[in-house]
Chain A
């Protein structure tokens, strides 16, 4: 709260500072629009990066300590063979829990391809046992050997063939998101610099008049920094709000697919996004200060 009060004081405290720099002309809209557009891109890029980062973590975590056993058996032997498999797993180190995937779960898994009311019971489907592992993990070679001896039709999947590419792709996408955010931040820096310089060029007369009437350089710098930072902050706030609305109205992944639960912007992510206008304001303070100082040096 103290930070916001301080920030508010820096921007609005002295009306004299704001009064001397005109709040009109195309540069007003140029600065505000540039800050808004770049903030919009920054927020979307940041959200993209954060979601991908969460996605990479979720996918990696969900597949990290799981494996499955698939076997085919006639209906009358299914229960017996399931019990054999569950007994083997019960005795295997590193197995947290194991359960037979029921017909309801299978239907749900195949629903996107077969539809809601497909009579899956009519088809001879292999039995599937889902294994939850402990942090230590399972000795797959040992388990495979035992299964081949006691349940020859069983095939063990340790999910690594799925997990690794998914993790790699998700990490790459996440890194691409971070790179995008860095690029957008640097571009924002450049754009705000150009907008500030354009605005200053249009206000050279103001600099001359202020110098003429004995304004200290610190007063002139503060006046321009306040005016421009206010514009950048308001533009950035609008851009961030627009991007926030867009993100809000995009349906969450989990609603559509059901396999990517919890992939959403959490509170920390929202705080990062909310900090974008403040980041732009800080950029504007530095950029404007330097631009005004160099303009004052060139002034006769």
Chain B
């Protein structure tokens, strides 16, 4: 293999050229998909700093072909000029924002607690409820995933009306918990299968009960998985629109409903819509940038056995 050492033969130079073309193709593909992913986000954020003429002329790059202005952000009361003043639009926006936060965090927490318990039980003990064995119970939980929201929406509408839960955060929290529970169980079951049973056996020998062993030994090990399940649930709950649109009217409306209700009426008033959309997507974009590891872990959990 002298040619590999001296690299002066035509075929060796050929290898080099081939390697470079491969590199260039890979990076070109990566960069073009990066543009596809980022351009809509870039567009939304820059548009929120535009004025009417900028929108109509189609200016794209800030400071290059238009001067950023706070007009869009002023329309939701979040500009440097208005931040110290009392602003009803900002109150409105913050109320929706707070609703979204409370609803998505509490339902994710509830789902993670119940889902982890169920997944742990199913991965360690044999149950028999009537004719249902462990695999049937698992299937029962996971099969909730295919339940389309429309089927539940109208019965819940009527049910919540008679329970006075319509347009309340608790009503939404219950539904969202139900929606993400199968996903949490799916992720956590996988996590608990990966934890060796000998750990708990040792804890039991040392005198802990099964709940003690679960809380003191298993939970700390499974914590990263729980965080992954929590964040994935958070994303799903934060973005949920269908139930929120049907079951809330004024008090408990979440951000997606607010965004949707503004889309129709705005016309070419793009800067305010863009500011609202940017504010609605920003929390999760930040979550994605800093907690990307957990999101990927959560989604990978079920895929690879």
**Do A and B actually bind?**
no
Binding site for B on A (CB under 8 A): none
